Structure formats: structure tokens, C-alpha cells
A = this chain, B = another copy of it.
Amino acid sequence: MSDCSVTFHPQEVRVKIRKGATLLDAALAAHITINNLCGGDGICGRCKMIVTKGEVTGEVTGKLTREEIKRGAVLACMAVVQTDLEVEVPPETLAKEKFTADREAVRFRGMKEIGEFWQKFTPAPLVSKVFIELPTPELANNTADHQRLCEAIRKKVGEPSTQMGLKIIRVLPEILRRGGYKVTATVGLRREISEVMDIEGGNTADRNFFIVVDIGTTTIVAHLLDAVKLKTLDAKACFNSQGMYGREVTGRIITAEKKGTEEFQKLLVSDINQLIRGLAEENGVSLTNITAAVCAGNTIMGHFLLGLPTENIRRFPYVAASVAPPPLRAAEVGIEINPRGLLYSLPGISGWVGSDLTAGILATGLYKHSGISLLVDIGTNGEIVVGNSDWMVSCSASTGPALEGASVVCGMRAESGAIEKVYVQEGKIKYQTIGDVKPRGICGSGLIDLLSVLLKEGIIDRSGLIKENAPGHIETTDGISRFILVEPEAAYQNKAIYITESEIENIITAKGAVFAAMKILLERLDLSFKDLEHFYIAGAFGNYINIDSAVTIGLIPNLSKEKVSFVGNTSIEGAKLAALYQEAFYDLEKIRENTTYYDLMGAEDYVEEFQKALFLPHTDIQLFQEVS
């Protein structure tokens, strides 16, 4: 197949690409990072480019207006290269402002009693800094430097066994003598053994920071933790750059199988490193003083981070390479913190139920309750656990990224300008944005509210279709109907904020998958929703969700209010507990061992149950009578 030459402006980069490749392929080859949230499915409409010379083929898409098409606009992911091309990349197409503060940590809710629970324990961070004053050696006490220091650490910290790598032993004599035998040892937990990871002259024990990361398929959240003051200093989040290879993990596994996992690892590590750099710079923390990175996330992301093969996870019987990788030198995978800093990958349960869920079990304390609880953590996959202090069973359902604000044109993460609340006041549909600024888009909680309002106001029917002659501002272009929530003049940059019928369908699919999974799992355990003492809903779709709205659309069952808690991002919250309390870290391992994985892919009735849930709230409306 012959090669075509594609030149991008204003980057002035030319690449050779085979005829038949997409313009997105060419942009990737040219290392031009563009907005592409849907993973090349022509859904998000954010990879707009203008072909000024040459010929491309490909379907016409509703994401572009007639005017745009006339001017040569195409979606890069759908435009097939046929000849040499000259291409203009509009500024809004370029990925930018990738990192936006996520103040979720500050506004965290629902975790209060858990925080108190852990406060009973003495904090014991996974990596700690210990200031030690050694007596100056003399003939009567001329123990070797290595053994003397380990003995002193043992006495001070009470660690029974301490190891030290050759690199540190080599420089130890000089650091000890230069520091006048007053040094700070950085001591990290590596399985049952503590490792003296680093030695500095003088007392630096007050400068010890961790990065705690929740690695989602769609969203990556990182918090900067002061491990001495036990405080969250700041938080940042970004979309996962792997999105360019597909919204769903399965697509990425298939691509990784062909291309190798390196590319996926590189993207993830680069995202995490940018979050770390941003957090460190803005908070005046030196990377050297970040001694640990603690990561929770779904198992596939965990595999990509470590460069582990993922292909067996998608093949029967879905075996992961490792669900509990050992602590590693973070530098071994390219994470840029202290060069000898440790990377802790928290333990998950199976290929499809990751450490985001075990962290959630830890954070909610579900594993300590005598009564039965259910925790559902909604991300691009929905992970569910049911159990108590005696037993736990988990499962996973594919939901897609709709509730994270991705794959919805006006969707966005829960950050400044996002509509997080939609409600009716005096017969009018109103909204509230994060930061009380002009709305820029809608985040997960806003979408749940919006669907609920649209249903209650008779704008959409129970299958999610916009009714004929529905009230409110409805537009139909190229056969696609959309409800305009915010008129251009009221919105940021005069861009109307709307939702289309197909986007509503995405959200219904997501909530249907989650609800069906919960129902089947409970049935398998001979339980029903009314047997639950607690119902925890966790996820990255916002800083709050309206429980009533979630019940209205059928995302969660209609339980009495006191049983239901929205617990936010329990993945990162649990990871933080594990980072600061070794007790909690060991609990995670116990949670892993005590939680069974139930595979829904093997459940014949799952598809049927899923179909039934593709209505608002459900085919069987009886289910949503209050079941307290």
C-alpha cells in the first residue's frame, strides 16, 4: 500500500502514513496530542481538523455542521487518508489544560466516621523518615556502619528486620561522617521487611510526601499527601491518555496485544508524572521528598502501569498476571519521584475487580460490619461488592465512561464550570455549577439529575427518547434530537450545553449495567436489596450525587435514606488510608484474600436482567417502590 504525506499546520510537521490510515493515526505519528476522548469512535467530536489540500474519505457525522463540512472540517478519527494532505489543526482540537485541580479531597463527604475509626490507630506511613543520632564510633564500639545504623533504626522504630541495598551501603560511610553521625533514614515497607531506602545528612524527617493515585480507565486522580502531618495538600486529575486507543479496557487490551504493552505503560506513566510534577511544583514540594507512590485502580490499568501482559484477562477464564504486585522501586516503571522511592500497587481481587474496590471496602469499613452492605463503585466499569465481616463477594459490569462525563459532547469532569446539579424550581429547569461560574459542561452528578428532571418533566419517556412536542428547547439536526439545557448566551464561550438522545441512551446503558449486576449478585447470594444494612455508592462522577435522582433513573434501588451513602472516590480514600496506616495496608491484603470474585460473563441471566434495566427507572417499576 502506498504512503501518503500528511503535513499538519500550524505545527509544520510532516509524516508519511499508509493510504487507508486515519488522520488520527497520522496525528499520533506526528506526536500531536489532540482532544480525543471517545477513543476514535467518532462520538466525542473533539478531534476536529480542516483538510485544506488533498482527499479524505469517511462517513459524514452529526458532530460537524454543514458549514464546517464545507470548509473542509473532518473528525480526524473518521477521516481516511487517500492522498497527500495539508491539514489545519484548530487550537481547540489540541489537548490542553489537561490538568485541572480537583478539590474533591477537600470537600470529601461520607467518610467521616471511617476517618475517626482510623484515628484510633497510631499512624504508620508505608514510608517514614527517621532522624537518628548515632554515637561517634570508638574502639570499644566499632560496629560496621551498616549494622550500626540498622540497629539504631530497629531500636527507634521497633522494626524487627531492616534491609539496605548496596547503593545505600556504598555511600553510607561518607554520609554518616559528613553528617557528624546525625542522619535521616528513609525507611519503607517492602512486604514484611523494612528497607532503608535512603540516607541524608541532618534532620529532614519533616519532609516526607506521598503521591496517591486512583488510576481509572477514563480518569486519573492524584493526591499529594503530607505523610508527616497526615494531610492531603492538593489534588489533580486528568483524563487517561490511553483513551486514544479506546474508551473500554477491552479495546485497549486487544491493541496492547498487537502493539505490546509498552505504549500503554508509557502513556499512563506520562499522565501520572505530569500530575505529580504539577502537584509538586504548585505546592513547593521537591520530587526528592516524595518517597512513595501508592496506586489503586482497576486491575487492567494496574497491569499497564507495571507493563504486565493483559491478554489473559479478557480471555476465558480471565486470569490476571498479578493482583497483588510487590512494592517496587518507582523508577523501575518510570514514575518520577525520589529515585529510590517506592511504588505500592494495592492488591485487587481479580482481573475485573481491582484495588479501587478493595480500597473502597477499606474506606467504607464494609469488611468490619456485622450487617450486610453493598458497595458499588461506578467508573468506566462498575465494581460491586456485597458482604460483611465474615464474607464478601464481588463482581464487575462494563458501564462505559458516560457517568464520568466522557463520551458525552457536553460532558466534563467535576471541576470548575461543571453543572453538578439540575433541579426544577417554580416550574423551570435550573442548574448549579461548580464554582458558581458560567457553565462549561455537565459532570456525572449533573447528568443523573438531568435525566431525572427530563423524565419527571415529561421531556423524555421511560426509554429515554425525547417526546414529540416535549416542553423546553429541543433541536433536531440531521435526525438527531437534543435537549438544550443552557442557551449559548448563558454558557462559557457561547457554546450551548445540551444532551442528545444517543447520549441519554449511553447513560441508561451505564446505569442498567450497574443495576442488573447488583441484582444478579444479590440473587446469587439469596439476598435482595432489603437485606442490606448499608448501601454505599462511590465513583468519580462528581462530588455529590442526588440520591433521589439516582433512584428516579434506576441507578440505585429505592432504599430508606439512612441506609444509602454517597461516599465519593473511595478508591483514593482507601489508598490514602493504606498509605498512612500500615494496619490498613495489611487489611487490604486480608480483604483481597476474603473476597470472592463472581463472574457475570458466565451468568446467563445477566443479559436478560440488563435488558430489563434499560428503562427509566426499570421495566419492572415495582422494584422502585421503597424497599426499606
Provided the pairs A139-B316, A161-B192, A326-B164 are in contact, do residues A169 and B321 lie with their beta carbons within 8 angstroms?
Answer: yes
Verify A328–B166 contact, CB threshold 8 A. yes
Measured CB to CB, the closest approach of chain B to A153, in angstroms, equals: 14
In contact, A142 and B319 (Cβ under 8 angstroms): yes
How many of chain A's residues touch chain B, expressed as a range? Answer: 35 or more
**Residue A309 at the chain B interface, CB threshold 8 Å:** yes
* Binary CB contact string for chain A from 319 to 333 against chain B (1 if under 8 A, 0 otherwise): 111111110100011
Docked Cα-Cα span, A65 to B170, in Å, equals 48
Give Cα A193–Cα B145 distance, bound, in whole angstroms: 23
A467 located at the interface, meaning its Cβ lies under 8 Å from any Cβ of chain B in the complex: no
Contacts of A350 in B (CB 8 A): 142-144
> Are A308 and B169 in contact, with the CB atoms below 8 A?
yes
Chain B residue numbers with a CB within 8 Å of A333 are: 166
Residues of B within 8 Å of A324, CB to CB, are 144, 146-147
Which residues of chain A from 106 to 155 have any CB-CB distance to chain B below 8 Å in the complex? Answer: 137-139, 141-147
* Among B144, B306, B311, B602, contact of A166 (Cβ-Cβ < 8 Å): B306
Q: Are B319 and A169 in contact (CB under 8 A)?
A: no
Q: Is the CB of A317 within 8 A of B139?
A: yes
| A141 and chain B: residue at smallest CB distance | B317
A143-180 at interface with B (beta carbon < 8 Å): 143-147, 161, 163-166, 169-170, 172-174, 177
> Which of these, B161, B166, B173, B318, contacts A325 with CB under 8 Å?
B166
Known: A161-B192, A173-B309. A166 touches B332 (CB 8 A): yes
Q: Is residue A312 within 8 Å, beta carbon to beta carbon, of the partner chain?
A: yes
Q: Give chain B residues whose Cβ lies under 8 Å from the Cβ of A172.
A: 321-322
A333, B307: Cα distance in complex, Å: 26
Contacts of A328 in B (CB 8 A): 165-166
Check A326–B163 contact: CB distance below 8 A.
yes
Closest to A311 in B: B173
The distance in angstroms between the C-alpha atoms of A161 and B142, with both chains bound, is: 34
- Decide if B192 touches A147 in the complex (CB within 8 Å): no
**What residues of B have a CB within 8 angstroms of the CB of A574 in the complex?**
none
Cβ-based interface call for A351 (8 A): yes
Is B174's CB under 8 angstroms from A309's CB?
yes
Interface flags for A325-346 (1: CB within 8 Å of B; 0: not) read 1101000110000000000000
* A191 interfacial contact with B, CB 8 Å: yes
**A535 vs chain B, min Cβ distance (A):** 28
A386-405: which have CB < 8 Å to B?
none
Q: Is residue A599 contacting chain B, with contact meaning CB distance below 8 A?
A: yes
Residue A597 CB within 8 A of the other chain: yes
- Cβ contact within 8 Å between A322 and B147: yes
Q: Which of A172, A311, A326 has the most CB of B within 10 A?
A: A326
Q: Would you call A319 and B174 a contact (CB within 8 A)?
A: no
Known A164-B326, A172-B321, A323-B146: A139·B599 in contact at CB below 8 Å: yes
Contacts of A146 in B (CB 8 A): 320-325
Q: Give the shortest distance, in Å, between A150 (CB) and chain B (any CB).
A: 9
B163 close to A306 (CB less than 8 A): no
> Which of A177, A193, A307, A602 has the largest number of chain B CB atoms within 10 A?
A193
Residues of B within 8 A of A161 (CB): 191-192
Q: From A167, which residue of chain B is reached at the shortest CB distance? A: B332
Are A169 and B325 interface neighbours, CB within 8 A?
yes
A316 contacts across to B, CB distance below 8 A: 139
Closest to A136 in B: B317
- Give a binary string over A589-611; 1 marks a CB under 8 Å from any B CB, 0 the rest: 00000000101001000000000
Q: Which residue of B lies closest to A195 (CB)?
A: B326
Residues of B within 8 A of A192 (CB): 161, 192-193
**B145 lies within 8 A of A320 (CB):** yes
Closest chain B residue to A327, Cβ basis: B163
Instruction: Please state if B326 and A144 are interface contacts (CB–CB under 8 Å).
Output: no
Q: Which residue of B lies closest to A164 (CB)?
A: B326
Chain B positions within 8 Å of A193 at CB level: 191-193
Residues on A facing B (Cβ under 8 Å): 137-139, 141-147, 161, 163-166, 169-170, 172-174, 177, 190-193, 306-309, 311-312, 316-326, 328, 332-333, 350-351, 597, 599, 602
Q: What 15 additional pairs, Cβ within 8 angstroms, besides A139-B318, A170-B307?
A: A138-B317, A143-B319, A143-B350, A144-B320, A144-B322, A144-B324, A164-B326, A166-B332, A166-B333, A169-B321, A169-B322, A170-B308, A173-B319, A192-B192, A193-B193
